[in-house]
A and B are shown apart, each in its own frame.
Chain A
Amino acid sequence: MNRLKLPMLGFTALVLAVGMISCGPKEDPIVELPPAEEGFIEINGGGATFPNMVFVNLRKEEQLAVGRKKWDLAFHTGSDFKVLINGTTGALAYETTSSDINTVGEALAAPLRTSGELELTFTNLRSILYADNAQNPLSNPVIKPVSATDGENKVYILNRGSSGTEARPWKKIRLLRKDGKYVLQHADITATTFTSVEITKNPNLNLVYFSFEEGVVSVEPEKQNWDFVWTAGTSVIPFGQAVNGTLAYFFQDLVYHNIYGGVSVVQVLESDIAYDNFTEQNIASLTLNSDNRLTIGSSWRGGGGPNSAPSIRIDRYYILKDVNGNHYKVRFLSLTKDGERGRPSFEYALVKAG
């Protein structure tokens, strides 16, 4: 993936760049190769246990694999103060009524432990209450936006998630604001003291990622330099018996496009326009979106069931517009590599250069 650091590129530079794009790529002052005309990528998902999340940059035909459990919390770099939990490990968070982290301990966690309410399992019918919104997590994160008034910021009990990874001890966290930065108080659930960390917003990124063990870690590339991420993660299925009729469910082979970086996507059915026939002229009829990261989601594959094997859906493909205004058509080819899940492949072609 794009490992080039562009340290000078700040928020103003982004506005500038977007302005340039409208004038055509030839006038772009940033040294960038012309976008890839077409490509074929075998995603390095790590195999059948889906250990990685893989960020893909189409115009550079690059991918970056990062371990799903490398991070625990993600801090929004926008003007608001929002924090996400790691849905790619099935993490869940529970808001306590306390605003003193030291008063929260195993006594409060025990009922959640024994009832299984804070575990992402297919038998927990209440899990949806403790997960970030699957389509657009920043629109409705389980951790309430951090208030400027400290007293309003409650302590959360955090299950770091054990979906497709080993279980780790629960944490307690509390988030505060200080001088335009985040302050994270965290400790093991049984601890009587806590650690306090300041997290600075980095406008080159959509989110700043934090690990309890390693502090701030590098997970996603700069926000202009990836188009979608393939991962396993928490999504939802309609299920009558679950709270709100929705069951949080851990999916493999999810594809989120970079909605916070300005990438937009729409699904096209072969029956409407065949992939091979899709040209620049067809773009106008489509409405691309950048507010639902599940637009590709799991729709590109059939999950399989009692009477069918998992398979890619050959009746559809996707049109993706990257931050440079390049339009690509993307179709998934395989769920497997040599029969092994967790190694999907796709191909794409440039429809219209930005």
Chain B
Amino acid sequence: MNRIDLNKIKNWIFLLAFLFSANPVFASEEVKGLVVDQKGRPVPFASVIFSDGKGTVADAEGAFTFESQPQNQNIKISALGFETVDYSINQKDGVIRIEMKEAVSELSEVVVTGNFGMETVKNSVYQVRSIDKLTIQNRAANNIQEVLNTELGIRFSQDNALGTSNLEMMGMSGQNVKILLDGVPIVGRQGVSNEVNINQIDINTIEKIEIIEGPMSVVYGADALAGVINIITKNPKQRSGYSIQTRLQEETVGQSYSPMAGAGNHIRNVSGTYTFEKPWKIGGGFTQNRFGGWKGNHSGRQFEWLPRDQDMGNFFVGTSVKGFDIDYALDILSETISSFGPENRLEVIDRNFITTRWMHRLNGKWDWTPTFKLSWQGAYTDYRRETETWVTNVRTNETNLSAAPGSQAGIAYQGFTWRMIGQWLLSPKLSLQPGIDINTERGSGERISENEGIQDYAAFLTGEWSPSDRIKIRPGIRKAYNSAYQAPPVIPSLNTKFVLSPVLDLRLSYARGFRAPSIRELYFDFFDASHSIMGNPNLRAETSHSFNGSLNFQQEENQGGFFKKTVLSGFYNDVSDKISFGIDPADPRITTLFNLDSYRTAGLMLNQSFIHHNFSGEIGISRIGRYNMLSAEQTTIPEMLFTTEINTTLTYLISVIETHVNLFYKWTGALPGFEMATDGNGNQVPREIRLEGFHWMDLTFRKQLGDNLSINFGARNLLDVTTILSTSAGGSAHGGGPQRPMGYGRSYFLGLTYQLSK
């Protein structure tokens, strides 16, 4: 890979000067070469390194020349994104043609988020956490939540009234986490990229998950104050052939289970791809998730965790002609969550929440010239969520759709995204990435006031400059126009990476982030006898200053196959104009939203991973602080409140029986907070509250049976967590009460996966 060993600038100057002077006296001694990729296209700016460490560099057309000397008979050719090639010059006639292989074989070491195409983890200027396919397989997860729930800095909260879950990252709510599917924002119940229920994505289509902390606002735009979670989907392989996968998994939900249907968790998936000789490839898949719900403390009709049926289909077709790649992907979700109402003596009322989402994507890449490439990601999403209310008269057993106003409600969003990025290699040290990003969104439905939608047009420019091979500097700037709210004038960012030693990398970054007010915040109105809540169409974006840093220590495999990696990272975010509820000064009966508050988060994380023979593992610790909003008025209480988290993943391969044993564990420390309360004398005083900490542990086994079949079994939530306690007095008339749902108890699963490919 791109391990250019030329660290002396004078060599570069000398060699470049040499290249351009091309002295004809030595023409007979000159070696001429051309660097191309596997498709025969030129690879620009490849480094050609001699055995003495000196060398030359190919031009934009992939051509290079140098004077033949005894010390440069063996050369090493390397270029970004390709595997390094060793070459011995034993002929003098003709032009040497060096074919380079794209370095994408080990996908887990490659990241795509924030980069143009793929980049190795080590070279990327972004600190990326990635969860690879193997980990997802080892967890035998049903949904993404079951993969991310032991990640540091991520916590989930359940909304059991609606049967959904919300995610919080780095001390910030889900509104500040941008969930992307192959770089494209996902639409959920609250609009585009806003508190997206991450479990509405088919886990079986996922290749890996990349997590980047800090706002990547320049490229990805709004709503990533805390970070980006980019879900990368599987792609048919390049060479011709087919692949088929089927998966069948049965799981208990706590103690409840019935085979194949009803109680428990039932997952079925079938998918396949076919790559033609040239130039087409197609793929498709279908997944059924049947979650039977969990009664918990309810004895009657009601469920604490609502039953959920998901059907998800996907289709893919792609083609590639002369440097022009284009593919279309369709992902369809159909979900029904059933909320059974409580026993009543006369009428029982049940509700179904029915979500359908059609997401069309058009991705493409065009290698225009060896030095200029273009890629684009387009998506159109149609999201609908209907609420059906059914009334059953217990005495007559008649069931009817409810006639009550608002009982049959719907909400619909249409989101469109078009992002186009150019990659322009100006020199081996400098590349520019200009781009445009268009996002439009419309929302309509129950309680959303009439609106024109939101249109956001942005242009951005990033550049990567490497003054030496030890330093990478990547500044960026984004300028946007938004139709609905006042967009921040200019969004800058600066990412840097320094190679302190061959095993030690330092990354420092600054970014300005912003969170756009959502359609609901702008236009959602709710009135009843005791509430008057309105959206505020005059909201501005929340903005943040975000600082991130990380230090990576990575030892190559050396002492007896021992590999280890240490990552220390930290962040600080300062958010202003935070959107909060307040009383409308024009009409004190109305509660609405304002850019009222400020907020801060800060944190440190340490992660240690190692691989030794059949044993691999990872252990991490984080301490994340959240700003205590009450401290603005109450000076006696701390400004920042910290929470500790510890996680570990251990995997051991028992080679004799070809079985992987995996342990996933996370301790989420107590979440402290303050609320105002009345003391004995009737005075308002701050009172410390806390949300109890909890331990989460999964133990899984995966055994290969022959070449094509593997079997998964194990236990999730081994420590039988159901609820955690909050000491908050409630805070509102509808406070969640002291018990917050976390899990549905210890569950066991057994799954089979069959894979066949040729």
Contacts and interface: CB of A to CB of B under 8 A. Distances in A.
Contacts of B591: 121-123
A334 B396 CA distance: 14
Contact of B403 (A115, A240, A332, A340): A340
Contacts of A241: 675-678, 684
A119 B588 contact: yes
A289 interface: no
B404 A164 contact: no
A276 to B, nearest CB: 12
B344 A334 contact: yes
A327 to B, nearest CB: 21
B673 to A, nearest CB: 14
Interface stretch (B119-127, B315-323, B731-739): B731-739
B344 A312 contact: yes
B561 interface: no
Interface in A46-97: 47-50
Contacts of B403: 338-340
Contact of A240 (B161, B345, B729): B729
Contacts of B585: 114
Contact of B734 (A124, A306, A333, A339): A306
A162 interface: yes
A308 interface: yes
Nearest to A113: B588
Nearest to A340: B404
A251 B530 CA distance: 7
Contacts of A252: 529-530
A337 B404 CA distance: 8
A339 B407 contact: yes
Chain A interface category by residue count: 35 or more
Q: For A162, A232, A338, which residue has the most chain B Cβ atoms within 10 angstroms?
A: A338
B531 A311 contact: no
A305 B161 CA distance: 8
Given A164-B528, A302-B342, A306-B736, A336 B589 contact: no
A283 B304 CA distance: 38
A35 interface: no
Given A308-B161, A314-B343, A162 B589 contact: yes
B160 interface: yes
Contacts of B529: 49-50, 163-164, 232, 250, 252
A336 B343 CA distance: 13
B341 interface: yes
A116 B589 contact: yes
A337 B349 CA distance: 10
A244 to B, nearest CB: 7
Interface string B390-415: 11000000001011111100000000
Nearest to A312: B344
B530 to A, nearest CB: 4
A340 B729 CA distance: 32
A114 B587 CA distance: 7
Nearest to B584: A116
B583 interface: yes
A51 to B, nearest CB: 10
B386 interface: no
B347 interface: yes
Given A249-B530, A338-B400, A333 B345 contact: yes
Q: Which one of B351, B391, B400, B741 has the greatest number of beta carbons of chain A within 10 Å?
A: B391
Interface in B688-720: none
Contact of B345 (A163, A167, A334): A334
Contacts of B569: none
A224 B400 CA distance: 40
A249 B733 contact: yes
B159 interface: yes
B733 A311 contact: no
Given A48-B405, A241-B684, A339 B345 contact: no
Interface string B142-179: 00000000000000000111000000000000000000
B150 to A, nearest CB: 25
Contacts of B678: 240-241, 245
Given A114-B588, A307-B161, A334 B346 contact: yes
A117 B339 CA distance: 39
A340 B407 CA distance: 8
B211 to A, nearest CB: 28
A308 B342 contact: yes
Contacts of A123: 583, 591
B259 to A, nearest CB: 29
B347 A336 contact: yes
A349 B680 CA distance: 46
A306 B164 CA distance: 12
A309 interface: yes
A299 interface: no
A338 B404 contact: yes
Nearest to A121: B589
Interface string A272-308: 0000000000000000000000000000001001111
A336 B583 contact: no
Given A116-B588, A311-B341, A333 B346 contact: yes
A244 B678 CA distance: 8
B682 interface: yes
Contacts of A341: 404
Given A116-B583, A307-B161, A338-B403, A332 B345 contact: yes
A49 B734 CA distance: 20
Interface in B108-126: none
Contacts of B676: 240-241
B341 A307 contact: no
B389 interface: yes
Contacts of B161: 305-308
B240 interface: no
B73 interface: no
B532 interface: yes
B151 to A, nearest CB: 26
Contacts of A311: 341-344
B687 to A, nearest CB: 8
Nearest to B389: A339
A335 interface: yes
Nearest to A251: B530
Interface in B322-378: 339, 341-347, 349, 351
Given A249-B530, A338-B404, A307 B347 contact: no
Given A121-B588, A338-B403, A250 B530 contact: yes
Contacts of A321: none
A49 B404 CA distance: 11
Interface string A134-157: 000000000000000000000000
Interface string B378-391: 00000000000111
Contacts of A164: 528-530
15 contacts: A47-B405, A48-B404, A121-B591, A122-B732, A162-B589, A305-B734, A306-B161, A308-B342, A309-B349, A311-B341, A311-B344, A339-B390, A339-B400, A340-B405, A340-B407
Interface of B: 159-161, 302, 304, 339, 341-347, 349, 351, 389-391, 400, 402-407, 528-532, 583, 585, 588-589, 591, 675-678, 682, 684, 687, 729-730, 732-737, 741
Interface of A: 47-50, 113-117, 119, 121-124, 162-164, 167, 232, 237, 239-241, 244-245, 247, 249-252, 302, 305-309, 311-312, 314, 331-341, 345
Top 3 A-B pairs, shortest CB-CB distance: A116-B588, A339-B402, A340-B404
Given A164-B528, A164-B529, A252-B529, 5 more contacts: A47-B404, A48-B404, A237-B733, A306-B159, A340-B403
